[in-house]
Amino acid sequence: MRDALSTCRSTCVKEERATRDQWIPSRLLDVMAGPTEASGSTIRLVEKKDMNPECLETMEYLTLSHQWGAKEPFHLTLDTLLDFKHKGLSMEYLPRRFQDAISLTRRLGVRYIWIDTLCIIQNSRDDWASESRVMDKVYLNSLCTIAASDGTDATCGLFTKRDPSMAMFSCQQQFRGREIEFQVVPEWIEVVREHCSLYKRGWVTQERFLSPRLLQLCAFPFYECRCGIQNEISQNPSNRTEIESVSHRTWASEPGSTSFESISRWLGIVREYRKASLTYSSDMMVAIGGLARKFAEITGEQYLAGIFTGEHMAVGMLWFSEGSPEHGHTQTYVAPSWSWASASGGIRNFSSLPAKESLFEMMSYRISPLPGHDHFGQLEACTLQLRCLVIQLHDFRSSIDLASVDEPFNKGKWDMKPTDGERKVDLNKDLFFLPLAYLSRHVSTEPCIGIGGIYVQAIDADAAEDVRYQRVGCAIYEIEEDEVSLLDTKVWNSLRSHEMSSLEAYRNTIELV
C-alpha cells in the first residue's frame, strides 16, 4: 500500500495540485506523540491554532470513513478536550477500528489522521455546525481516506479474515467440442458498494467523492485515485464510470461552467445519496453540503436546498419518490416541497434529459439557514418566486385514481407525506400544473421530446399573507402524445406546438414553499 501511494502521488500530482490547497482541519490526531514515535501507545489531539504556521505548509493527514453503528464510539467532548490535547489519549481506550486506523497511518509514514468522532466536539452544537461547513475541505485536502467498508460499528476492526484466492477463480466450459478454462473476475467493486454496510450510510457519499484517494478495506480490498481503481488482481488503474469520475474530472472543470454534464453528475450523485440512510433526517442537507459547495464553485450557480439555479434548474426540480416512503414519524422541516430533500426514502430524477428551453423565470428566492449554518447546511425555510404558466386543472378529480400505480410520464407521479405515507395531493383543493421546461434527450441540440413540470396546490396561510403553494407531484408529457391526462386538449396542443402567445393568460407569479 505504501508503494502504491507513492506511485500514485507521482502520477496524479498534476491533478492533485488543482484541488489541494495546504488547508488542514481545525483538529487532528498526532499518532506519533507516544513514548516511541513509531509504536507509541499514546496519541494526542492537536489544534491548528496551536501549530507553527510554517509546519502547516507541508503537513499531511489521512481521514477515516466509517459508520458509528448503534453503539456510539468513544468520542471527543467539551469535558475531554483539554485532556486529549495535553495528556494525550491511550490507545487501549480506543475501539478496535480506531486502533487499526492509527496503526495503518503509522505504517504508511503519515503522522496525522482525522477521525470525526475524535476531532469534532460531539456535545457542542456550535462546533458541529462550524466543522460541518468545512467538511468538503477535510476530505479534499486529505492525502488518502481509509474506508472501513466492513463491520457495523467501531468495535469491528479494519482488517478481516479473507481468502485472496476467491478474488479470481477458474471455471471450465465446453466450447466447440473442447473444454476451455476461463478466468472469472467478479465485479468486486460493485459488490462492495452494493452490500458493504458502510455504503448504507448517507454521509459516506460525499466522503467517497471528495477524497483524492480511497483505500477500501474489506474482504476484497481496492484502491481508488484520480487515475482509476486498482485491486490485488490488477495493479493497473482501470477507468472509472461517469459518476465515479465526478470527484476528479468535474473538479477540474473551468469555474463558471454551467454545462449539463456537471448538473447531470450532481443529479446522479443525489440519486446514489438517497439510496443510503441517515440517523437524523435533519442531516439531509449537511451530509451532502460539502459536495454541493464544490459543484456551486464549478458551475457558478446558486445552490438552493439541493437544486442548482441556471438553465437546467427545471431538471433538478423534476424528481419523484421511488419505493415505499419511510413514514410513521413526525418529520421536522428539512427542505421546501420542490426539493428532492423533502421526500422520504429513495428518489429518481431525469439526469439524462437536459432542458432545451426553460419555461419559467425565477424572480427571487429567500433562503434562511438555521443559526450556525450557511445555505449548504440545515435550513429554516427556503422559498422561490417564479414567473410561469399556472394552469388550473378543472377535471382532475375524476382523472386521478389514488389507488393506482403512479406514472411520471403523461400522467402524474404524486409526492408522499412522510407522516403517514399518503399522497400529498388534496382532492378538496384546486390543482395546478406548472410547465417548467421543454426537454430533449441527452443533449439540448436534439429535438424536444417532452414538457416537464410540477403539480402544485395552495397551502393554508394567514389572511394577511399572499397565497403560497407547495409541490404535490410532477409529470413529463411527451410531445408525440395527442392527448394527455389532466391537461385540457386545447392547452396541451398549444404547449406541444410551442404556441406560447395563446397561453399568456395563464402566466402568473407564484411563490413556492
**Structural domain span for residue 210:** 2-162+189-232
Evaluate whether residue 238 is within a structural domain. no
Residues 79 and 133 grouped into a single domain = yes
Residues 153 and 89 in one domain: yes
pLDDT at position 251, please? Answer: 47
Query: Do 339 and 228 have their domain in common?
Result: no
Q: Is 489 exposed, middle or buried, given 0-12, 13-18 or 19+ CB atoms closer than 10 A?
A: exposed
Domain for residue 120, yes or no?
A: yes
Cβ atoms of residues 145 and 65 within 8 Å: yes
Same domain, 395 and 505: yes
Query: What pLDDT was estimated at residue 106?
Result: 94
Shared-domain flag, residues 142 and 270: no
User: Are the C-beta atoms of residues 392 and 432 closer than 8 Å to each other?
Assistant: yes
d(CA 237, CA 225) in angstroms, rounded, equals: 8
Q: How confident is the model at residue 256 (pLDDT cuts 50, 70, 90)?
A: very low
Q: How far apart are CA 358 and CA 329, in angstroms?
A: 37
Higher pLDDT, 471 or 10: 471
Q: Where are the beta strands (DSSP E) in 352-447?
A: 355-358, 361-369, 379-389, 391-393, 413-414, 431-440
Backbone angles phi, psi at 395, to 5 degrees: -110, 30
For residues 39-50, give the mean pLDDT.
Answer: 86
Give the Å distances, CA to CA, from 384 to 305, 332, 451, 513: 11, 20, 21, 7
Same domain, 264 and 361: yes
Question: Distance of alpha carbon 142 from its chain centroid, rounded?
Answer: 19
In the prediction, which pLDDT does 141 show?
93
252 has pLDDT over 70: no
Tell me, yes or no, whether 278 and 199 share the same domain: no
**Judging by DSSP bridges, how do beta strands 144-148 and 214-217 pair with one another?**
parallel
Specify whether 347 is located in the same domain as 443: yes
Q: Is residue 324 part of a domain?
A: yes
Question: One-letter amino acid identity for 455?
Answer: Y
Q: Is 419 within the bounds of a domain?
A: yes
- Are 383 and 408 contacting, i.e. CB atoms less than 8 angstroms apart? no
SS3 202: coil
Question: Exposed/middle/buried for 448, CB within 10 Å: 0-12, 13-18, 19+?
Answer: middle
At residue 225, the pLDDT reads: 81
Same domain, 358 and 408: yes
Task: Evaluate if residue 76 carries a pLDDT over 60.
Answer: yes
pLDDT band at 178 (very low <50, low <70, confident <90, very high): confident
Compute φ and ψ for 450, nearest 5 degrees. -175, 175
220 plus 271 within the same structural domain: no
C-alpha cell at 321: 419518490
pLDDT in tens, 491-500: 999 999 999 9
Domain annotation covers residue 25: yes
Q: Is 481 helix (H, G, I), strand (E, B) or coil?
A: coil
Q: Would you say residue 169 lies in a domain?
A: no
**Residues 198 and 316 grouped into a single domain:** no
The answer to the question of residue 250 being in a domain is no
Q: What is the pLDDT of residue 454?
A: 95
pTM over 0.85: no
- Output the pLDDT for position 171: 78
The count of structural domains within the chain is 2
- Both 351 and 315 in one domain: the answer is yes
- CA-nearest of 257, 228, 232 to 244 is 228
Average pLDDT over residues 225-241: 61
Measured CA angle at 41 (ends 40, 42), to 5 deg: 90
Instruction: Work out the percent of the chain whose per-residue pLDDT is above 70.
Output: 81
Give me the chain's average pLDDT, please. 82
Lowest mean pLDDT among 63-72, 157-166, 454-463: 157-166
Residue 429 lies in a domain: yes
